[in-house]
């Protein structure tokens, strides 16, 4: 079981997931339970963003009573739009400063 919490600590949902499931599949379950789109989600454990699967974590060391707790950090709509745009070779020269200073958007652009 995976418990998803908001940055405030409030519980958003609890889902079942296997270690081998790709993060996109896990995010799809979270989206179904919360209404928060897959592209808007950043799932974190201990300040580390999970990008591939739960296998990135040494689960045996961190599971508490069989439940893994993750924090959901929600991207802004503007960030989601720019991430989608730069993945299609959009020009960042027209982007607002806040977007050009966004590390994740810059990394997606290169």
**CA gap 32, 12 in Å, rounded:** 12
Going by pLDDT thresholds of 50, 70 and 90, the confidence category of residue 68 is confident
Given a cut of 90, is residue 74 above it in pLDDT? yes
Nearest to 44 by CA among 6, 99, 82, 83: 6
Cβ–Cβ under 8 Å, residues 90 and 82: yes
Nearest to 96 by CA among 85, 26, 15: 85
Mention every residue, 6+ apart, whose C-beta is less than 8 A from residue 6.
12, 71, 72
pTM of the model: 0.79
Cβ–Cβ under 8 Å, residues 106 and 99: no
pLDDT of residue 62: 62
pLDDT tens readout for residues 12-35: 999 998 878 888 999 999 999 999
pLDDT tens readout for residues 24-64: 999 999 999 999 999 999 999 888 888 877 777 766 556 55
């Amino acid at each position: 079981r995976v418990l998803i919490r908001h940055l405030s600590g409030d519980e958003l949902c609890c889902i079942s997931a296997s270690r081998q499931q790709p993060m996109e599949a896990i995010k799809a379950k979270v989206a179904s339970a919360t209404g928060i789109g897959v592209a808007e989600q950043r799932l974190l454990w201990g300040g580390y963003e999970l990008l591939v699967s739960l296998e990135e974590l040494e689960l045996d060391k961190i599971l508490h009573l069989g439940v893994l707790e993750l924090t959901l950090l929600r991207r802004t709509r503007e960030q989601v739009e720019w991430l989608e745009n730069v993945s299609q070779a959009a020009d960042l020269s027209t982007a607002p400063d806040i977007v050009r200073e966004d590390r994740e958007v810059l990394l997606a652009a290169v």
